[in-house]
Structure 1
Amino acid sequence: MMQKLRNIFHSFPIQLLVLHVRSNHLLLAMWVVFFLLVSGALASKLGFQYLFLDPEYLGAVNFWSFFFVGIGFGSFFMSWNLAIYLLSAHYFPFLASLARPFTKFVINNLLLPLSFLIVYLGIMVYFQRYYEGLVFREVTLNAVGFLSGMLLLIILYSIYFQFTNRDISYYESRPERPPHLTRAYTPGRRQVDLEYIKLDSTRWRVDTYLSESLEPRLVRSVAHYDTKMLMSIFKQNHLNALILQLISMLVLLVLGYLVDYPPFRIPAGASLFILASVLTALIGAVIYWFGEWSMTVIIVLLLGLNILTRNDNFNYTNKAYGLNYETAPAEYSLKRLQEASNSTRIEDDKAATTAILERWKAKTEEEKPWMVILCSSGGGLKSATWSMQVVRTADSLLNGQLLEHTVLITGASGGMMGMTYLRELYLQQQRGECVDVHDPRYIDDIAKDLVNSIAFTIVSNDLFIPWAPFEMNGYTYYKDRGYVFEQQLNENTNGILDRRLEEYREPEASATIPMLYLTPSIVNDARRLIISPQGVSYMMKAPVGQRYPKAVEVDAVDFRWMFQDQDAGNLRMLSAIRMNATYPYVLPNVHLPSRPGIEVMDAGFLDNYGIVSATRFIQVFREWILENTSGVMLLQISSSDKVEEITPSGGQGIVESMFNPLGIAGKVLVVQEFEHDNSLGFMYDLLGEERFIQIPFFYRPTEDNKLEASISFHITQREKADVMRAMNHPSNLSSLEQLQQLLSPPAKQK
């Protein structure tokens, strides 16, 4: 029994696995990450597992979407084997004595990939069958699609090696070269003492290996072979591997140029596999060339890259499309902000907004109408879908009274994507276009996938310096994942959001549509940037700052005022939406034309629920509200429940407890909720309990759905259906009933 165990342990597949655990930690980590992603143990709230379990291609989950994921997996599988072969083949000199050594190496290196494949297919089949409700035939077809894509790429690699790699028979039949030509024609890592490896049987013992027919074969001694010949075989195989990896990167560059064409936007899961294949190739190359110095070299390369990219010629920063970056940049200084927040401009902007409020009141035909403010939280496509579903349902039940009474829409990220789209539909409806804002098919549009195009562009374009130019609203920029996000969102919404910021100035001013604030966070100093076609300088500081200038700080910036000389009104509305929804790393931070340069990202980091903007607006126009309205009705539309379970702190080891002080940093949204509740309490005191009503709409997963919809730019059909059904939750039905009592047409006062 013990002898059998020893034989198994000293077989080539097991020894390769031992080698990975001992030496190839970075390359082994790639598989660990994919295991965690697919199982949902890592980034489940962001929906990363759905990118592999429910991939979309051209808006559909089918054979072809899984086929491309299979191609991506095949690329990673072969790249990983190539890297391992480059780094490890010299430990096993018997390979050089075999026909087709790389093929046999891959077969014996299947333990990890095969384990992942079995786990992945098992989870995928279960997910597709029980969470998506697909019939057995559809699930089988999807699995066949994945396997077909994987096998196709492996076959292409095999054909390449069949015609390029040479084995022992080739070198034995070849005449000996003159001494001056025996130098290896490919550089390698540090010199390997192959003679020592051949003679020392305890160095890395392998007794058996698997052949192409999966039959165990005994390893034969290679001590009688010429060392130079064995090294030539390895180096020639290495050269072909490196050439193939370079070709793969070139293909990615070409595909990046074609990203404007939807058929080239492969599923995000495939893109992640391809990204892993590129990283694997890079890691393998660095370790191959520099051996034990590899970590030092990686650190030096990262530091060098950081220094190099400080130069504008080697660094690309994403821009807001429509702004003029060629003119003198705007001055962004504390002095200028303080001057603006204490100038007569504030009174002018307040007067202009008051005129909008007067037109809104006249439109309602009520003596004292309720003023509605919509606050929509961030949360990716889940929040976009939920926000549209809430407003569409409520406005339909109220025969259009909800949107008619709405003065301001604010919020963050995905929620504002949905609200901006809904408002544009409402504008077209108001202008007599053939649009029904209550039609559920528009929710289908906003729920369409955005992640695939982003992920593919990261892999094929943004890993390199973006180089493909394009023109937008009169200025030239370069394509990157920010550009692709806007193009994909524009396609999903049938092109109706491709407008300039200035085009909304008159519809808002005439109270045809509600005002809307997009409020991305300024990375430099944690202020909010208020993007609106109207002048909103009164939002830059709390109202008390007008009476006591030194009492409070400027905590927000009026975008239109700050960038008036940089063509602020020409800003593409899709860029404004993206600035407001710039989730870290998924989308690039936007750099604005100022001195010093302003960098902005997702609004959710400072005001994920839009409450800060809403309460500031109420503070500024408190007197008008009290005199002209019945009060303020604030609809809080949130894509997640505010009540969270308390996380226990016990049962931790000493290493885990060291990270406890950092835990509060991950509670940004919870801290915001506490602060927002405090602000809402202040609103009750400011307006009076009868003049301020908060009506919450929270998405909660239904009882038959075990998984809460994820926070990402991808939402599955099951998740979308669950979000739509959440309107039937008792708390949301109660909120609808309260809305009907306050805004239903019979209650209108003439």
Structure 2
Amino acid sequence: MKSFSRGLYYSFPLQLVLLHLKKFQILLIFWYLLFSTVGGSFMKNYGADSLFLAPEYLGEVNFVSAAIVGISIGIFIMSWNITTFILFSRHFHFLATTTKPFLKYCINNGVIPLIFLVYYFIEAIVFDTRKELMSATEVIYLASGFLAGFALIIGISLFYFFRADISIIRRLTPVITNPELIKAQFRKRERKLHGSRLIKVEWYLNSIKRVKKVRDVSHYSNEFIESVFSRHHFAAVLSIFIAFLFLILIGFWSDEPLFQLPAASGITIFFAILIAISGAFSYFLQSYSLPVMILLFAIMNLLYKYDVIDPSNKAYGLNYNNRKERPVYDRDQIMNMMSEKNVQNDKKNMIGILDRWKAKQKTDKPLMYIINTSGGGNRSASFTMNVLQRLDSLSNGELMNKTFLITGASGGMLGATYFRELYKEKLAGKKIDMQNKSYVDDISQDLLNALFTSFVARDLASPAQKFKVGDYQYIKDRGYAFEQKLNENTHGILNKQLRDFTADETAARVPLMFFNSVITRDGRKLIISTQPVSFLMKPVHDTTNMMAIDADAVDYQALFSKQDPMNLRVLTALRMNATFPYVLPNVWLPTTPVIDVMDAGLRDNYGQESAIRFVQVFREWIRENTGGVVFIQIKDRKSGGWENPYESTDVTELVTKPLLLLQFNWYKMQEYNQDDLLGLTQAVIGQRLHKISFQYVPKKEDGRAALSFHLTKREKRNIAEALDNDNNKQAFDHFGKILHPAPAVGMQ
């Protein structure tokens, strides 16, 4: 037993695991991320596990989608093997004297990959049966696809290295067959090999089933061993280069759905590239790797500083070419934009729209409906569409006609904008059934696959392709891929410029929409609308008794008046409104100094802040011309702030709690603040302010849909079922009572 334990401990597979723990531990981070993602402990709330365990390709979770993920996992494992083989080969010289040394290394380095594959299959089976509602046959079919893809890429890789091994043997044959040359490899004067100080190997796996004792190679010269390894290293780096070229080709065709890989595949290939780059740097530059990397970084900074390269994402449709006419972004410019003259002109324009909206209502004092929809990725988009369809049905198709304003954040605005455009198409005479559930399916479709494929194959590998919006040219990146996929999912109905919305919104044929985003420079809100809205740039206050208040919002039209603002793509406005950190790139805008914007949810995740300010600004018109205001709030979470309390369960969390407190409670604090504002607004306009709140609350807390641009089948069903929970039933009843109030007692 003692000899077995010793043999096991000094076996090559176990010693390699220990070597990974001792050297270049940073490479193990990628394994940790894969394990924790698949296991659901990393970014579970964002649905990261579903991307790996139920991969989607061309809108389907099937054999092919699983095979592609299998291929990407295989690429990652081979990249891991290649990189560590290059970095660690000096610690196991005995491999150089064997046939097919890289193959033997892969076999012995298979402990971590094998554990991961077993873990992956266990998690996939549980996930697919419980979350994707698959039968045993379907799960086996998926597993077969994964294994087929994995086996294919491993087979191709090993065949490549097998051919490389034959080529190396041919080059060494003249040395081996020449007595004088072979004798030179054992010259006594030369420095002899010494064993590694980090590992000691006595046994290794010669094949999957055969164990072999390590032979002594101390009599070989260092130069001979290094020459064998260097040839294998070159073959390994060449394989990485070939794979990178293939990735560039995918980038050029990634607009085609066929080349939009499952998101998990894109993420895994990205990890593989990072590992491979580290190996290539170490191989070619040795100890100069860090200085060269710093130098390259400095050069990239200089090129960016002098506009030789520009990786920043743009707002598609805006004019970035007229540099001399770019607006200055400072206090004076912003204060001038909201001068008394501008505010009065903009209010006059908006009152004209309000009058036209009132004129098409059936009563002298109509209720004004304002829809606020929260951010929350595809779950919010899906829930919003479900709620709006139900409300439209209850109002006999009059919901959009009665609604004056729609505002919100992220996913909720995706659903609301799609619904409004369907209504507009219906007004234009097209045969559209607003209750058709296929529209829910459209807005719930995956957006991540195209995004991550573009990130890996285009942003990183080939950021050189361009496209045009009108007269202006832009670089294709993952922001463009997101917009194109959203456009495809919604059948081109959103592929318009802001100017295409202007006539209908000005005539009040459809509800007005505000597309908000947050300026990262100072946290101000950028309000994108077809109408000038300088009156929303600062809070309503008594100017006679209060000192001047600075703007906390910016009117997009006024700021970019010389940048062709109405040429902006609606898809881009939606993306700016939904720029989730890291997933989508920040959008850089043509100002001096340059500013960039992010997700509207950072400032107002519920859309209620803008709606409340609008009501406060036009409170007099509302009192004189309406029977009151009805806020319809559509939220992707439960009200009250009781969900997901921030609790400290270990010592680490006690340390990080002060740092992460704001992050965990950000949306809750927004809710508290907006409820306070709503109460003040009610005091201003009287008791004619109603609020109806629809909340996505799943039947089971652990069944909550992820905050992601990807939904599983169970999550889609779960969202639809949430319409009938107790809170939402009461909300629909309340809506019906407001819509059709009971006649006063004694009146017929």
TM-score (norm 2): 0.94
Match of 1:189 in 2: none
Structure 1 residues 747 and 61, CA gap change in structure 2 (3 angstroms): farther
1:319 to 303, 306, 314: 314
Give the conservation status (yes or no) of the 8 Å contact 1:372–1:635.
yes
CA–CA separation in structure 2 for the residues paired with 1:10 and 1:284? 26
Give the conservation status (yes or no) of the 8 Å contact 1:401–1:744.
no
Letter in 2 for 1:208: W
Give the conservation status (yes or no) of the 8 Å contact 1:342–1:546.
no
Q: Answer yes or no: is 1:127 the counterpart of 2:127.
A: yes
1:221 to 201, 216, 235: 216
1:545 Cα deviation (Å)? Answer: 6.7
Matched position secondary structure for 1:605: helix
Match of 1:250 in 2: 245
1:584 to 581, 584, 589: 581
2:708 to 693, 712, 735: 712
Residues 527-566 of structure 1: matches in 2 within 5 Å?
A: 527-544=524-541, 550-566=547-563
Match of 1:112 in 2: 112
1:711 Cα deviation (Å)? Answer: 0.8
1:644 Cα deviation (Å)? Answer: 2.7
Give the conservation status (yes or no) of the 8 Å contact 1:75–1:274.
yes
Matched position secondary structure for 2:45: coil
Letter in 2 for 1:280: I
Match of 1:676 in 2: 674
Residue ranges of structure 1 left out of the alignment (5+ in a row): 183-193
Match of 1:644 in 2: 642
Residues 479-490 of structure 1: matches in 2 within 5 Å?
A: 479-490=476-487
Structure 1 residues 297 and 197, CA gap change in structure 2 (3 angstroms): farther
Structure 1 residues 202 and 565, CA gap change in structure 2 (3 angstroms): closer
Match of 2:660 in 1: 663
Identity of aligned residues (%): 39
CA–CA separation in structure 2 for the residues paired with 1:569 and 1:651? 51
Matched position secondary structure for 1:564: coil
Tell me which moved more, 473-482 or 83-92: 473-482
1:226 Cα deviation (Å)? Answer: 3.8
Letter in 1 for 2:249: V
Matched position secondary structure for 1:700: coil
Match of 1:68 in 2: 68
The superposition leaves residues 391-422 of structure 1 with CA deviations (integer Å, 9 ceiling, x where unpaired) of 11111122123322211000001100111111
Match of 1:4 in 2: 4
1:352 Cα deviation (Å)? Answer: 1.6
Give the conservation status (yes or no) of the 8 Å contact 2:247–2:461.
no
Structure 1 residues 650 and 439, CA gap change in structure 2 (3 angstroms): closer
Match of 2:227 in 1: 232
Q: Answer yes or no: is 1:383 the counterpart of 2:380.
A: yes
Aligned residues: 734
1:253 Cα deviation (Å)? Answer: 1.3
Letter in 1 for 2:161: F
Matched position secondary structure for 1:119: helix
Give the conservation status (yes or no) of the 8 Å contact 1:55–1:65.
yes
1:630 to 627, 632, 642: 627
Give the conservation status (yes or no) of the 8 Å contact 1:453–1:485.
yes
Match of 1:477 in 2: 474
CA–CA separation in structure 1 for the residues paired with 2:602 and 2:190? 60
1:510 Cα deviation (Å)? Answer: 1.5
Match of 1:569 in 2: 566
Match of 2:185 in 1: none
CA–CA separation in structure 2 for the residues paired with 1:539 and 1:202? 69
Letter in 2 for 1:17: V
Residues 32-431 of structure 1: matches in 2 within 5 Å?
A: 32-166=32-166, 170=170, 173-175=173-175, 198-200=193-195, 204-289=199-284, 301-302=296-297, 305-327=300-322, 328-431=325-428
CA–CA separation in structure 1 for the residues paired with 2:176 and 2:6? 41
Match of 2:459 in 1: 462
CA–CA separation in structure 2 for the residues paired with 1:15 and 1:148? 30
CA–CA separation in structure 2 for the residues paired with 1:200 and 1:423? 72
Residues 590-609 of structure 1: matches in 2 within 5 Å?
A: 590-609=587-606
Give the conservation status (yes or no) of the 8 Å contact 2:376–2:411.
yes
CA–CA separation in structure 2 for the residues paired with 1:712 and 1:89? 42
CA–CA separation in structure 2 for the residues paired with 1:549 and 1:648? 39
Letter in 1 for 2:481: V
Letter in 2 for 1:674: Y
Structure 1 residues 118 and 465, CA gap change in structure 2 (3 angstroms): same
Give the conservation status (yes or no) of the 8 Å contact 1:55–1:61.
yes
Structure 1 residues 275 and 680, CA gap change in structure 2 (3 angstroms): same
1:205 Cα deviation (Å)? Answer: 1.4
Q: Answer yes or no: is 1:722 the counterpart of 2:718.
A: yes
Letter in 2 for 1:744: H
1:79 Cα deviation (Å)? Answer: 0.4
1:133 Cα deviation (Å)? Answer: 1.5
1:505 to 486, 497, 502: 502
Letter in 2 for 1:522: I
The superposition leaves residues 651-670 of structure 1 with CA deviations (integer Å, 9 ceiling, x where unpaired) of 643x5433232123313222
Letter in 1 for 2:606: Y
Matched position secondary structure for 2:18: helix
CA–CA separation in structure 1 for the residues paired with 2:345 and 2:371? 25
Letter in 2 for 1:311: Y
CA–CA separation in structure 2 for the residues paired with 1:354 and 1:522? 28
TM-score (norm 1): 0.93
CA–CA separation in structure 2 for the residues paired with 1:746 and 1:649? 47
Give the conservation status (yes or no) of the 8 Å contact 1:637–1:697.
yes
1:212 Cα deviation (Å)? Answer: 2.2
Give the conservation status (yes or no) of the 8 Å contact 2:65–2:262.
yes
CA–CA separation in structure 1 for the residues paired with 2:473 and 2:197? 64
Structure 1 residues 22 and 344, CA gap change in structure 2 (3 angstroms): same
1:744 Cα deviation (Å)? Answer: 3.2
1:576 Cα deviation (Å)? Answer: 0.7
1:733 to 704, 729, 739: 729
Letter in 2 for 1:365: K
1:747 Cα deviation (Å)? Answer: 7.3
Matched position secondary structure for 2:363: coil
Match of 1:744 in 2: 740
Structure 1 residues 120 and 176, CA gap change in structure 2 (3 angstroms): closer
The superposition leaves residues 423-470 of structure 1 with CA deviations (integer Å, 9 ceiling, x where unpaired) of 100111122211122211111111111100000111011114621111
Give the conservation status (yes or no) of the 8 Å contact 2:682–2:688.
yes
CA–CA separation in structure 2 for the residues paired with 1:589 and 1:143? 38
Tell me which moved more, 265-274 or 357-366: 357-366
